[in-house]
């Protein structure tokens, strides 16, 4: 056996071991000079069914992949790529689409008519492609689940920070915000006040009209507080039951008291229609006002002072605004005896 035949044998062996199928085409005439018979046999075709022209081979290629093959060949022909590489699907005889890769080179690139010897190999990449598809699908599902988790998280954060009936900040949010505002006011020596707002004789509303009407009254008071305060500056929170707190940064006690009066009046003027007969329920609020006092006062202390002023407003006949007065022994006395007495 001559050296050429030996080399040919060695090449065939190497191709077989690597799972490669050698082909050769003439791009100028379209003639297939060596057919990738192993590939087509794998796809279920007999040797006779594989014709000698590239146009016929293209009929086996998935329509979505044709343009990609033509572009890869064109790029290589034009000398823009050192070799031709492409991945595409071929139609098996039983109707399946199977993924293959091509790797080739124009051998006569420096001749006068390059393209007559376009040689390459085809190999099966179906298993890899399907795993890639699976991974893509898993990645897409993970991305969808991530997006879902993110929106659930935002919803949970909203639920954790807000009162579900009124949508106002809840006690936890208020305590965080209040502590920050106290520190800020103290540091920059700015005024800060709070209002503690409580619906008067609310038990009667529930007893006379039912809990649903009671809830509507709570929402009506919440709306008035929200609409009459500065959005993005003040904070309105529902402390629980029929009790609200309005946190007023940059607000002196005089201005806080004026706002409290305006809120009290707005609530007193509001009536809710409670049934089809057009019956109405009126309601009022009592409000305690307290300014941030001596250096280092905590938000809890500030709330406590507002609560004492609220107690005084209730004692004074309700539908009433009272200001915390640290110098008032009567207030202090009343507040002391009020601890645990007020609902
Ligand atoms: N409808 C409704 N009622 C509530 C809610 N939370 C608390 N309550 C009721 O609010 C009422 C509060 O009553 P009290 O603490 O006696 O106070 P009040 O009747 O408003 O009397 P004063 O505060 O002294 O004017 C109770 O009947 C509670 O059941 C709620 O979310 N919805």
pLDDT tens per residue across span 299-329: 999 999 999 999 999 999 999 999 998 776 4
From CA 292, how far away is CA 91, in angstroms rounded? 80
User: What is the residue with the minimal CA distance to atom 7 of ligand 1?
Assistant: 241
> Which atom belonging to ligand 1 lies closest to the Cα atom of 217?
1
CATH 2.60.40.10 corresponds to the domain 3-124? no
CATH 1.10.730.10 corresponds to the domain 164-338? no
Q: At CA 194, angle to CA 192 and CA 198, rounded to 5?
A: 175
Q: CB under 6 Å to ligand 1: residues? A: 165, 198-203, 206, 211, 214-215, 218, 241-242, 314, 318, 343
Residue 38: name the closest of 13, 62, 20, 52 by CA: 20
Give the three-class secondary structure for 192. Answer: strand
- Span 177-230, pLDDT tens digits: 999 999 999 999 999 999 999 999 999 999 999 999 999 999 999 999 999 999
From CA 270, how far away is CA 329, in angstroms rounded? 35
- pLDDT band per the 50, 70, 90 thresholds, residue 340: very low
Q: Where in the chain is the domain with CATH 3.30.450.20?
A: 3-124
Residue 181: name the closest of 253, 239, 248 by CA: 248
> Is 157 an annotated catalytic residue?
no
- Span 83-138, pLDDT tens digits: 999 999 999 999 999 999 999 999 887 888 888 899 999 999 999 999 999 999 99
Q: Where in the chain is the domain with CATH 3.30.70.270?
A: 164-338
Q: How far is the CA of 203 from the centre of ligand 1 (A)?
A: 5
């Amino acid at each position: 056996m001559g050296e050429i035949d030996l080399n040919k044998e060695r090449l065939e062996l190497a191709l077989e071991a690597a799972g490669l199928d050698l082909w050769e085409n003439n791009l100028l005439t379209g003639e297939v000079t060596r057919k990738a018979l192993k590939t087509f046999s794998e796809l279920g075709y007999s040797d006779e069914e594989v014709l000698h022209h590239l146009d016929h081979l293209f009929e086996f290629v998935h329509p979505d992949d044709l343009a990609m093959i033509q572009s890869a060949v064109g790029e290589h022909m034009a000398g823009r790529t050192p070799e031709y590489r492409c991945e595409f699907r071929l139609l098996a005889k039983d109707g399946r689409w199977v993924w293959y890769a091509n790797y080739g080179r124009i051998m006569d690139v420096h001749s006068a008519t390059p393209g007559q010897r376009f040689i390459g190999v085809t190999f099966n990449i179906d298993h890899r492609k399907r795993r890639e598809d699976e991974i893509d699908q898993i990645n897409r599902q993970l991305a969808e689940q991530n997006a879902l988790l993110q929106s659930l998280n935002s919803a949970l954060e909203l639920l954790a920070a807000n009162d579900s009936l009124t949508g106002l900040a809840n006690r936890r949010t208020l305590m965080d915000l209040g502590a920050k505002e106290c520190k800020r006011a103290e540091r920059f020596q700015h005024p800060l006040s709070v209002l503690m707002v409580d619906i008067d004789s609310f038990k009667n509303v529930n007893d006379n009209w039912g809990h649903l009407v009671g809830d509507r009254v709570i929402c009506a008071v919440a709306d008035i507080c929200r609409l009459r305060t500065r959005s993005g500056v003040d904070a309105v929170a529902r402390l629980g039951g029929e009790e609200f707190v309005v946190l007023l940064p940059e607000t002196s006690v005089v201005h806080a008291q004026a706002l409290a009066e305006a809120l009290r009046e707005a609530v007193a003027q509001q009536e809710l229609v409670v049934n089809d007969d057009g019956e109405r329920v009126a309601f009022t609020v009592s409000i305690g006002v307290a300014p941030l006092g001596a250096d280092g006062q905590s938000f809890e202390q500030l709330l406590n002072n507002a609560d004492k002023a609220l107690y005084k407003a209730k004692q004074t006949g309700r539908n009433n605004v009272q200001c915390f007065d640290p110098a008032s022994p009567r207030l202090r006395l009343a507040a002391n005896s009020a601890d645990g007495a007020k609902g």
